[in-house]
Amino acid sequence: MISVQNNNALKQITFAALNTDININAKMKDYYCPNFEGCQLLNTNQVIDDQKQKDIYRAEYCINPELTWKNCKRYQTRVALNFCPDFVLPDTKLSPAEIMNKYDEEFI
Ligand code: SF4
């Protein structure tokens, strides 16, 4: 049987643990690309279906304490053009303008 005193201590410990989780999650969100939840590369198999390669991109760009998502060509293209074609990968060498031209040639 748990005494009232021990029960209160248990509640405090639980609350402290929850608070720590919330703080860690809030801090980690800074590491996440703003497109993380909607990115077709991460959330579908349309862009690539190789899970190992997805995991590599995720670690190198999408969730990274050095905010390397800013260097992701998919992120840059989405900011520049307001969308990102599926053929664009995080390390694609084309500029957003070249990506737009390629998109126009292939799909319009
Ligand atoms: S870093 Fe690039 S690949 Fe990763 S979620 Fe952002 S836009 Fe998508």
Instruction: Say yes or no: CB of residue 76 within 6 Å of ligand 1.
Output: no
| Arithmetic mean of pLDDT, 5-32 | 51
Same domain, 71 and 61: yes
User: DSSP state, 70?
Assistant: G
- Does residue 39 sit in the same domain as residue 2? no
Say yes or no to pLDDT of 63 above 70.
yes
For ligand 1, whether the C-beta of 90 sits within 6 Å is yes
The more confident residue out of 22 and 30 is 30
The residue that leads in pLDDT, 17 or 50, is 50
pLDDT recorded at residue 30: 80
Can you state the angle between helices 96-107 and 73-81, rounded to 10 degrees? 80
Whether residues 54 and 43 fall in one domain: yes
What does the block give as tokens for 60? Answer: 């190198």
Give me the pLDDT at residue 53, please: 97
Residues 50 and 96 in one domain: yes
Confidence label for 11 from pLDDT (cuts 50, 70 and 90): very low
- Which domain range does residue 80 map to? 31-107
67 and 39 fall within a common domain: yes
Shared domain check, 95 and 47: yes
CA atoms within 13 A on the CB side of 77: 25
Domain count along the chain:
2
Ligand 1 mutation pick, 33, 44, 56, max ligand atoms within 8 A of CB? 33
| Whether residue 59 sits in one domain with residue 8 | no
Is the C-beta atom of 47 inside 6 A of ligand 1?
no
